[in-house]
Structure 1
Amino acid sequence: MSSILTNNSAMVALQTLQSINKDLAKTQDEISTGKSVASAKDNSAVWAISKVMEADVNGFKGISESLSLGESTVAVARNAAETVTDLLTDIKGKIVSAQEENVDRTKIQTDIDSLREQINSVLNAAQFNGKNLVNNFDESSILSSLDRDSAGDVTASYISFNGQNLTSDGGTLSTSTALNRIGTVDDAGAYTVGAGATLSNAANDATITLATSLDDGDTLTIDFADQQFTYTNNSGGALAVGDLDDIVAAGLANLGVEGVTTAVTGAGEITVSSTNKFDAITIQGSSPTTTVTVDPDAGGSQSAAAPGAAATLVARAETISLGGTGNTGGVVKEGDGFQIALDGSTFNYVAKDGDTLNDVATGLKRVIDAQGVDGVSVKVNLSDDPTTSPPTIQIDNDGSNNISLTVDDGADGVASGGLVGLSGIDVTTSDGARNALNNIESLIQTSIDAAAEFGSIQSRVETQAEFIGKLTDSLKSGIGALVDADMEAASARLQALQVQQQLGTQSLTIANQAPQNILTLFR
């Protein structure tokens, strides 16, 4: 049925044309914006996801900047530590030269002072944007990531590390909280933290007693330190102890053990006196017919050895053990401080994070050598297992006066600089040159460890920065996959819709002409 009031064909054609125009407008919008989801009305779920991801991309751009800044800061510190290592190596060369007696040690010391000043200059200049990592042990952190969990919560992640203080700062000792990890053992026996001893230049003695004569043809043997004295009686008769003691005294003296003298102090008694600083002397005598006993004095911390048994003539130096009653497997915490007082002068070392008892012992030696006390010599005996055998420090007095010794410790101090003791290196004397040679190795190792630590951190930052760059690219690709328009498809769709639009327009035109055709019925 045809009607001039209702043109159903025109309505259908109009609706079709409107739909085509709507699709055409959307396609043109995709082509102009490059996005298939340009706003929340296009696809609310995809749009929301893309916006979260875009926010993460912007955040990672800031992280990349943080990593770049952090990497530069760490790189400056690493270069500084490497330069300090080179300068310390140069100082070592000067110290080695100073070991010779026929060199101008004053000029060598001038060169060392110059190198030391250069080290200070490097440490002071090693800052980036005001941040210096080689003059403190402060904790630093670099923003490295933003981590989003399944619930949508975001947390920041950091690369954290400590500065590597390569200064000569002495640190700050606090004795408010005792550690009880440091104790001493003197010639008479053990004493604890805070107790004292006296360092004397007096020799330690041991008495060798020859109780019976030496038969004809028999041989007397005395092991002395790492040497041996032997005497065979070929006199044709028994040799009385009154004659044998002179022979033994002279024979032991002729061994040439450093710091040892011998004297006959009674019939059959030979007193051996040792001013040996750091090494104990083992004495053991034996003979088929002569009874030989060795009795160290009170300094030997033992009674007379049984005939034929070994006895120990201890070193003159006072021995300080870092074990103490509170030692917990050799563990040292940051801020743990250790003090040795000699004749009123205090020598402190405060541990940094990561220090061991071996580091503490080495640090105390460097400090004592740097400040110096007349006649005092120091030796450190490091330990492979501080848990069962803590390191010890031996302190000897070769001066003319006795020196008082006390020890102490405490927690919660400020750590000493990694190169503590460097400022006191003095090679103008033979003793100073010898001490400097012992100490420079630990100083070099400290700077090497610092450079290695910074190198490790820099490598980690570089790896993280590379990862963040790739992650950002992946996020951008993901966002594009969600919201970007497929331009090839959009172009093809545009052409198709344009053709459909033309056809729709023609269809509407034809439909609108239908009522006109009714007029022909009335002609």
Structure 2
Amino acid sequence: MSSILTNNGAMVALQTLKSINANLTKTQGEISTGKSVASAKDNAAVWAISKVMEADVNGFKAISESLSLGDSTVAVARQATETVTDLLTDIKAKVVAAQEGNVDRAKIQTDISALRDQINSVVGAAQFNGLNLVQGTADVEILSSLDRSNNGTVTASHIKVSRQDLTSTAGTLGSGTDLSANATLSAASATNAGNTQTLTIATDADISGDSFDISIGGATVSFGVGDLTGDESAAATAISGAINALGLVGITASASSGVVTFTSTRAFEDVDLTATKNGGATGVTLSGATIGERAESLTFSASANVNEGDGYQVTVGGSAYTYVAGKNETFEDIARGLKAAVDGGGVSGVTTQVAQNSSGQWQLKIDNGGASSVSLARAGAADGTASGGLFGLGGIDVTTDTGAQAALGNIETLIDNAISAAAEFGSAEGRIETQSNFIGKLTDALKSGIGALVDADMEAASARLQALQVQQQLGTQALSIANQSPQSILSLFR
């Protein structure tokens, strides 16, 4: 049945043409924008995912800039610490030269002062955009990543860079918890008197028929049978004379009523003592096998912890010397810091040394070779202001024998601190560079992933465009033919 009111063929052709035109419009949009998903209506799920990823890409661009800034800041600090290390090494060479007695120590001290001023200048100038990592103790965090969890929560990650304080500030003893129990003094004063042990020969001992070997400080005196004649007093006199004839540094012997007294004024060295009798005589007794070092000791706890701001103070002859721990420091650092403080104080006749005892405890040893005794006291408190990593640099003075000897040990500590600081910054800089490279590759991967989701396949779009254009032409012709169908009904009425 034909109808002039309803043209089914035209309606079908029109719907087909509309569909073709809609697809053609979409394809042309893909070609013009380069995206297959340009808006949420194209594919809501894919569009939402792509926008989240695009936001992350923008965030990672900002992170890359943060890492670049952090890398530059750490690089400046590393270069500064390496320069300080070189300058400290130059100071060490001057200190070593000052160990000779026939050099102009005043001129050497002038050179050391100039190098010290240069170190202070380097430390003060080692900043980037106002941030100086070789001053102060507060850590610096550099934004390194944005971490997105499965539930969509985003958290920021940071690379922590520890400041390495290379100033020579003294620090300030705090007023917090009393820490004095963590440090024990061996005596309340230090004198120049030596320590002693005795060899006692009994009054009824006949030793003329015996042989003796007396060892002290690594040297041995031997007496054969018949060498020691007379009573115990004569034997004691002969033994003491033989010991003194050895000329051992800091070791003397004296005799009185059959007793030989061995005295050692060696500051930081115990002296071993043995006496061996080869005959059958009895009545020869040593009071001890070791003559202890003359120096008094400040011994630190083997079990207590050291926190930043923990300060310890030793008073020598009425003058107080303080060292306050920085981050991650130990009792070794405190002992070495106090040594530098005391050495820099220039107390007449007083020398120091840092060592560990047989229990592994760190000790500051204080020896007094002066004419009069000096009082000793100690204190400790938490919550202080930390001393600088180059504390003691200002106290280096090689114009005297004592100062030159003290400087040799102290400069080694300062060099170790500077090397450790440079190593810390080098490690942090390497980590920042690695993270920066990763962020760059991650950003590229995200961009590639976004492209795979929303970018149009231009080859396919081009082929589809041509096909749709042909379909459009055919659809137009089909609609034209369908529209001519009612015209054929007119012939029935002619």
- The answer for the alignment partner of 1:253 in structure 2 is 244
Check 1:106–1:238 CA distance in 2 against 1; reply closer, same or farther (3 A cut). closer
- The answer for the alignment partner of 1:181 in structure 2 is 182
SS in 1 for 2:73: helix
What is the distance in 2 between the residues matched to 1:259 and 1:408? 32
Letter in 2 for 1:339: Q
Deviation at residue 33 of structure 1 after TM alignment: 0.8
Asked if residue 230 in structure 1 is aligned to residue 201 in structure 2, the reply is no
Asked if residue 358 in structure 1 is aligned to residue 332 in structure 2, the reply is yes
Contact 1:213 1:238 (8 Å CA) reproduced: no
Aligned-pair identity (%): 57
Asked if residue 332 in structure 1 is aligned to residue 306 in structure 2, the reply is yes
SS in 2 for 1:152: coil
What is the distance in 1 between the residues matched to 2:335 and 2:221? 37
Asked if residue 201 in structure 1 is aligned to residue 192 in structure 2, the reply is yes
What is the distance in 1 between the residues matched to 2:321 and 2:198? 37
What is the distance in 2 between the residues matched to 1:46 and 1:481? 10
Deviation at residue 242 of structure 1 after TM alignment: 2.4
User: Which whole-Å deviations, capped at 9, do the CAs of 1:215-252 have from their partners, x for residues lacking one?
Assistant: 444212222122212212436x9532122122111011
Letter in 1 for 2:338: L
Which has the larger displacement, 121-130 or 363-372? 363-372
**Could you tell me the TM-score, scaled by structure 2's length?**
0.96
Contact 1:361 1:382 (8 Å CA) reproduced: no
SS in 1 for 2:272: strand
Contact 1:214 1:220 (8 Å CA) reproduced: no
Contact 2:141 2:159 (8 Å CA) reproduced: yes
Cα RMSD, aligned residues only: 1.6
In the TM superposition, 1:439-454 aligns within 5 A as 439-454=410-425
Deviation at residue 478 of structure 1 after TM alignment: 0.8
Deviation at residue 394 of structure 1 after TM alignment: 1.2
SS in 2 for 1:205: strand
In the TM superposition, 1:92-103 aligns within 5 A as 92-103=92-103
Aligned with 2:435 (options 464, 467, 475): 464
Asked if residue 406 in structure 1 is aligned to residue 380 in structure 2, the reply is no
Question: Unpaired runs of 5+ in structure 1?
Answer: 187-196, 295-304
**Could you tell me the TM-score, scaled by structure 1's length?**
0.91
- The answer for the alignment partner of 1:417 in structure 2 is 388
Asked if residue 220 in structure 1 is aligned to residue 212 in structure 2, the reply is yes
Deviation at residue 366 of structure 1 after TM alignment: 1.4
What is the distance in 1 between the residues matched to 2:390 and 2:197? 42
What is the distance in 2 between the residues matched to 1:450 and 1:293? 55
Aligned with 1:391 (options 350, 359, 362): 362
Which has the larger displacement, 458-467 or 241-250? 241-250
Letter in 2 for 1:500: Q
What is the distance in 2 between the residues matched to 1:106 and 1:481? 75
Which has the larger displacement, 128-137 or 359-368? 359-368
Deviation at residue 66 of structure 1 after TM alignment: 0.4
Deviation at residue 339 of structure 1 after TM alignment: 1.0
User: Which whole-Å deviations, capped at 9, do the CAs of 1:454-499 have from their partners, x for residues lacking one?
Assistant: 0000000000011111111111111111111111111111100000
- The answer for the alignment partner of 1:476 in structure 2 is 447
Asked if residue 274 in structure 1 is aligned to residue 264 in structure 2, the reply is yes
Contact 1:175 1:408 (8 Å CA) reproduced: no
Check 1:413–1:48 CA distance in 2 against 1; reply closer, same or farther (3 A cut). same
- The answer for the alignment partner of 1:110 in structure 2 is 110
Letter in 1 for 2:444: D
User: Which whole-Å deviations, capped at 9, do the CAs of 1:340-376 have from their partners, x for residues lacking one?
Assistant: 1112211111112221222221221112112221110
Deviation at residue 313 of structure 1 after TM alignment: 2.2
Asked if residue 158 in structure 1 is aligned to residue 158 in structure 2, the reply is yes
User: Which whole-Å deviations, capped at 9, do the CAs of 1:2-27 have from their partners, x for residues lacking one?
Assistant: 11111111111111111111110111
SS in 1 for 2:223: strand
Contact 1:214 1:233 (8 Å CA) reproduced: no
SS in 2 for 1:418: coil
Aligned with 1:314 (options 287, 292, 299): 292
User: Which whole-Å deviations, capped at 9, do the CAs of 1:313-338 have from their partners, x for residues lacking one?
Assistant: 22221111112xxx42x632222211
SS in 2 for 1:101: coil
Contact 1:84 1:447 (8 Å CA) reproduced: yes
Instruction: Report the number of matched residues.
Output: 490
User: Which whole-Å deviations, capped at 9, do the CAs of 1:359-397 have from their partners, x for residues lacking one?
Assistant: 2212211121122211101011136x9xx4201121011
What is the distance in 2 between the residues matched to 1:399 and 1:61? 67
- The answer for the alignment partner of 1:373 in structure 2 is 347
Which has the larger displacement, 255-264 or 423-432? 255-264
What is the distance in 2 between the residues matched to 1:260 and 1:275? 7
Check 1:215–1:262 CA distance in 2 against 1; reply closer, same or farther (3 A cut). closer
What is the distance in 2 between the residues matched to 1:292 and 1:425? 50
What is the distance in 2 between the residues matched to 1:134 and 1:22? 67
SS in 1 for 2:186: strand
Contact 1:133 1:165 (8 Å CA) reproduced: yes
Deviation at residue 138 of structure 1 after TM alignment: 1.0
Deviation at residue 290 of structure 1 after TM alignment: 5.0
